[in-house]
């Protein structure tokens, strides 16, 4: 693969560095190093990436979150004497990221009981499953460590039971429509024997001697059967029976004591902008109307004279849009990578070194997730993967497969995450920063950029891209509608049916995601992408003929994930440096 050797001497953030470290810069560096030590201690994903052993599972209790808050508060106090005027540009970005990350930790306990730890997208069980699924197993010590962490899942599940009961005592229960998904999700983790999602797949054990493999799997099955499964069943029982009887029929945070105030904070947290739910709702309505007109033009181009709903129905009968087997989804996604690869160097001066690919989600966990997710490279597997959902093929339209591939892989998450990981010029703690508005905003921006690169020449691909943009725009309306503006779930589902291309299964799952699993998180995609486009066009207008799209993209990506306020200052620095 060709690697551009484009020199960015004038456009490297290191150009802002001073010859001698100031007292303020030293403080930022020292606090950043201390925060990195916390991340390295507590974050299993980071430990896997570094090849460090997983010595414990995450603490999912309020007491643990309060301990983290006190630790973060102490680091914020240490930053008090810092003078921004003594910092270089990159150092001010470090200060902004560090201050925000620490402040979020300090504030997190206030919102602890507004997060449901039993829902498919937010439950720690899902994260633990991913961690156990990536732990090395080759050496006897590796397998002993795996069994020790697996044994701890029972204590983690029991801790979640306690949290659920405290929540319920505060009048905060998982809405009844979500409980069916919760029940299926938890019972998948309670499975035993070969059906257990915690049981390592054969490929992970291929290097073991047959007798070692048999002994290890026997030990895994014993831990799951004796400890893990009973604990997860206890957890499932804690959200059934009397809990279910008292669970609300309505969805959305606004129904709970203090819920509306919590949601307003979640909106700011996920968008990294000072915006209200009402403002986001209006932005969503305007975008939905605009995209609907663009989709109508493509239907006319295709010679379709019916309504949008009738065209949507016709797409369900179009055999070319549906896979015959799960592997076909991955094959289709990678075909779009083949298409974009020859043009990447015209838009980016740098590429990540990490290779990329696709693979299917664990089929047992697929029912609880609408789509899939990007998995970062680890020490045991240096490839970045998009894990796709291969279930329900009759509902798994490939209409937006191109836009999805560009969002998740090239030039989307794979580029954005790994270019930061691989950049030694920025502090390591910033390589571990993931502001949703930046990361998911970049993914949505990348899907749009692919259109500018000519990747959607087929009208169905263009319609699929617009359908994806419509989807993230509809989210702005229904997420805020259900959590802040009093919309029922039925109203939100009707709005999605009218405007989005998703199936009934996806609409049912997604509306629960917005109103129960992760309120506010889905706003970050479109809000972040819109800000990225706005800042790019601001730079283009200011620089005129001096604007270089490759240098702009490299500048934005090489400094890692940034809150939108910091990104705005970062782009202004790009303008000032490029204009010289």
pLDDT one-digit tens code per residue, 451-503: 999 999 999 999 999 999 999 999 999 999 999 999 999 999 999 999 999 88
Predicted pLDDT of residue 473: 98
pLDDT one-digit tens code per residue, 180-212: 999 999 999 999 999 999 999 998 999 999 999
Predicted pLDDT of residue 9: 34
Predicted pLDDT of residue 370: 67
Structure tokens at 41: 């201690």
pLDDT at residue 11 above 50? no
What is the residue-averaged pLDDT of the chain? 94
The pLDDT confidence band at residue 2, using thresholds 50, 70 and 90, is very low
pLDDT at residue 32 above 80? yes
Distance separating alpha carbons of residues 210 and 214, to the nearest angstrom? 6
User: Residue 271 burial by CB count (10 A; 0-12/13-18/19+): exposed, middle or buried?
Assistant: buried
pLDDT at residue 348 above 90? yes
pLDDT one-digit tens code per residue, 109-153: 999 999 999 999 899 999 999 899 999 999 999 999 999 999 999
CA distances, 23 to each of 30, 81, 82, 356, 428 (Å): 11, 9, 8, 41, 20
CA distances, 561 to each of 93, 354, 429 (Å): 10, 18, 11
Distance separating alpha carbons of residues 417 and 142, to the nearest angstrom? 28
For residues 407-436, average pLDDT: 94
According to DSSP, the β-strands at 373-375 and 356-360 are unpaired
DSSP letters along 1-20, please?
A: --------STT-GGGG--SS
For residues 313-326, average pLDDT: 93
**409 secondary structure, DSSP code:** S
CA distances, 237 to each of 163, 186, 200, 512 (Å): 14, 10, 26, 21
Predicted pLDDT of residue 506: 84
Burial 95-113 (b: 16+ CB within 10 A, else e): bbbbbbbbeebbebbebbb
* Proportion of the chain above pLDDT 90, given as a percent: 87
Predicted pLDDT of residue 379: 79
pLDDT at residue 400 above 80? yes
Structure tokens at 571: 């782009």
Positions of E strands within 41-130: none
């Amino acid at each position: 693969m060709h690697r551009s050797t484009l020199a960015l001497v004038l456009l490297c953030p290191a150009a802002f560095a001073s010859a001698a470290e100031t007292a303020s810069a030293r403080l930022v560096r020292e606090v950043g190093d201390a925060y990195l030590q916390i991340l390295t201690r507590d974050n299993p994903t980071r430990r896997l990436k570094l090849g460090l052993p997983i010595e414990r599972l995450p603490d999912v209790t309020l007491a643990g979150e309060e301990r983290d808050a006190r630790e973060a508060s102490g680091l914020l106090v240490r930053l008090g004497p810092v003078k921004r005027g003594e910092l270089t540009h990159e150092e001010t970005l470090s200060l902004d990221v560090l201050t925000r990350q620490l402040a979020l930790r300090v504030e997190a306990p206030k919102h602890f009981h507004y997060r449901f730890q039993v829902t498919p997208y937010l439950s720690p069980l899902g994260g633990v499953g991913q961690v156990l699924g990536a732990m090395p197993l080759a050496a006897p010590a590796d397998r002993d460590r795996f069994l020790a962490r697996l044994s701890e899942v029972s204590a983690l599940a029991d801790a979640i039971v306690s949290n659920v009961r405290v929540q319920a005592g505060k009048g905060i229960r998982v809405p009844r429509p979500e409980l069916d998904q919760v029940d299926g999700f938890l019972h998948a983790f309670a499975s035993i024997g070969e059906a257990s999602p915690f049981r390592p797949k054969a490929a992970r054990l291929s290097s073991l001697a047959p007798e070692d493999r048999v002994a290890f799997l026997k030990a895994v099955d014993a831990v799951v059967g004796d400890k893990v499964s009973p604990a997860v069943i206890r957890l499932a029982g804690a959200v059934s029976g009397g809990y279910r009887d008292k669970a609300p029929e309505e969805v959305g945070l606004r129904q709970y004591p203090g819920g509306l105030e919590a949601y307003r904070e979640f909106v700011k947290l996920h968008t990294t902008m000072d915006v209200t739910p009402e403002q986001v709702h209006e932005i969503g309505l305007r975008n939905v109307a605009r995209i609907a007109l663009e989709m109508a033009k493509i239907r006319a181009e295709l010679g379709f004279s019916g309504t949008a709903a009738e065209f949507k129905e016709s797409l369900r009968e179009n055999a070319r849009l549906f896979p015959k087997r799960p592997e076909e989804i991955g094959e289709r996604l990678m075909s779009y990578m083949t298409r974009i690869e020859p043009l990447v160097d015209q838009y980016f001066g740098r590429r990540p070194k990490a290779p990329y690919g696709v693979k299917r989600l664990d089929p047992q966990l697929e029912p609880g997730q609408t789509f899939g997710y990007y998995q970062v490279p680890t020490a045991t597997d240096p490839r970045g993967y998009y894990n796709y959902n291969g279930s329900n093929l009759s509902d798994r339209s490939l209409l937006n497969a191109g836009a999805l591939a560009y969002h998740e892989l090239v030039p989307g998450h794979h580029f954005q995450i790994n270019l930061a990981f691989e950049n030694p010029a920025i502090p390591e703690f910033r390589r571990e920063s993931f502001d949703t508005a930046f990361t998911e905003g970049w993914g949505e921006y990348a899907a749009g950029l692919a259109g500018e690169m000519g990747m959607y020449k087929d009208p169905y691909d263009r319609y699929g891209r617009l359908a994806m943009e419509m989807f993230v725009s509809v989210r702005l309306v229904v997420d805020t509608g259900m959590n802040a503006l009093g919309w029922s779930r039925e109203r939100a589902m009707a709005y999605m049916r009218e405007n989005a291309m998703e199936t009934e299964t996806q609409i049912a799952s997604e509306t629960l995601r917005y109103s129960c699993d992760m309120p506010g998180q889905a706003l970050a995609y479109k809000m972040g992408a819109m800000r990225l486009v706005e800042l790019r066009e601001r730079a283009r207008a200011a620089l005129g003929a001096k604007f270089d799209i490759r240098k702009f993209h490299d500048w934005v990506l090489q400094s890692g994930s940034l809150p939108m306020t910091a990104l705005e200052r970062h782009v202004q620095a790009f303008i000032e440096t490029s204009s010289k």
